[in-house]
Amino acid sequence: MQTQNHLPDDPQAVLEAHLEKEYKWGFEVPLEEELAPKGLSEDIIEYIWQKKNEPPFMLDFRMRAYRAWKTMKEPHWLNGHYDPIDYQDAYYYASPKALSEKQPKSLDEIDPEIKRMFERLGIPLEEQAILAGVAVDAVLDSVSVATTYKERLAKMGIIFCSMSEALQNHPDLVKKYLGTVVPYNDNFFAALNSAVFSDGSFVYIPKGVRCPVELSTYFRINARKTGQFERTLIVADEGAYVSYLEGCTAPARSEHQLHAAVVELIALPGSYIKYSTIQNWYPGDKEGRGGVLNFVTKRGIAHENAKISWTQLETGAAITWKYPSVILKGDNSVGEFYSVAVTNKYQQADTGTKMIHIGKNTRSRIVSKGISAGKSNNTYRGLVQVLPSAENARNFSQCDSLLIGSQCGAHTFPYIETKNPTAIVEHEATTSRIGEEILFYCNQRGIPTQEAVELIINGYCQEVLAQMPLEFAVEARKLLAISLEGSVG
Partner 1 sequence: MLEIRNLHASVDGKPILKGLSLTINPGEIHAIMGPNGAGKSTLAAVLAGKEGYEVTAGEVLFEGQDLLALSPEERSHAGLFLAFQYPVEIPGVSMVQFLRAALNAHRAAKGEEPIDTAQLMSLLREKAALLKLDPAFLTRSVNEGFSGGERKRAEIFQMAVLNPRLAILDETDSGLDIDALRIVAEAVMSLHRPDNAFLVITHYHRILQYLTPNFVHILADGRIVRTGGPELALALEEKGYEPFLSQVV
Site residues for partner 1 per CB under 8 A: 436-438, 440-449, 451-452, 455-456, 458-463
Name the minimum Å distance from CB 397 to partner 1: 18
Q: Which is nearer to partner 1, 413 or 441 (CB)?
A: 441
| Residue 275 zone, left/alpha/beta (φ > 0; ψ -120 to 50; rest) | beta
Q: In this structure, what are the phi and psi dihedrals at residue 433, rounded to the nearest 5 degrees?
A: -135, 145
Distance in angstroms (rounded) separating the CA atoms of residues 489 and 175: 54
The two beta strands, 307-314 and 409-418, are unpaired
Q: Which is nearer to partner 1, 358 or 367 (CB)?
A: 367
Alpha helices in 93-187 (DSSP H): 96-102, 112-121, 125-131, 140-155, 163-169, 171-177
Residues 6+ apart with CB under 8 A from 70: none
Residue 30, Cβ density class (10 Å: 0-12 exposed, 13-18 middle, ≥19 buried): middle
Question: What distance separates the 2 farthest-apart alpha carbons in the chain?
Answer: 68
Residues 6+ apart with CB under 8 A from 437: none
CB nearer partner 1, residue 144 or residue 432? 432
Residue closer to partner 1, measured from CB, 90 or 453: 453
Shortest separation between residue 210's beta carbon and partner 1, angstroms: 30
Shortest reach from residue 452's CB to partner 1, in Å: 8
Nearer to partner 1, 45 or 453 (CB): 453
Q: Write down the least CB distance from residue 340 to partner 1, Å.
A: 12
325/300 Cα distance (integer angstroms): 6
Q: Which residues in 373-408 belong to E strands, given as ranges?
A: 377-386, 394-403
Minimum distance of partner 1 from residue 304's CB (angstroms): 35
Nearer to partner 1, 317 or 452 (CB): 452
Q: How far is the CB of 350 from partner 1 (least distance, A)?
A: 25
CA angle 260, 2, 112 (to 5 degrees): 120
Nearest approach, Cβ of 413 to partner 1 (angstroms)?
A: 24
Please provide residue 273's backbone torsions phi and psi, each rounded to the nearest 5 degrees. -115, 125
Of 204, 202, 228, the C-alpha closest to 217 is 202
The conformation of residue 464, written as its DSSP 8-state character, comes to H
Exposed/middle/buried for 324, CB within 10 Å: 0-12, 13-18, 19+? Answer: buried
Specify which residues 395 forms β-bridges with. 364, 425
Name which of 363 and 369 has its Cβ closer to partner 1.
Answer: 369
Minimum CB separation of residue 40 from partner 1 in Å reads 47
CB of 485 to partner 1, least distance (A): 17
182/452 with CB nearer partner 1: 452
* Of residues 18 and 369, the one with the C-beta less far from partner 1: 369
Q: Report in angstroms how near the CB of residue 280 gets to partner 1 at its nearest.
A: 22
Which region holds residue 419: left if phi is over 0, alpha if psi is between -120 and 50, else beta?
A: alpha
Cβ closest to partner 1, residue 267 vs residue 439: 439
Least spacing, CB of residue 345 vs partner 1, in Å: 25
Q: Which residues pair with 368 in a beta bridge?
A: 339, 399
- The torsion angles phi and psi of 414, rounded to 5 degrees, stand at -90, 125
Q: Please name the residues in contact with 8: beta carbons below 8 A apart, sequence gap of 6 or more.
A: 127, 130, 131, 216, 217, 218, 221, 248, 250
What does the alpha-carbon distance between residue 194 and residue 174 come to, in Å, rounded to a whole number?
13
Nearer to partner 1, 60 or 451 (CB): 451
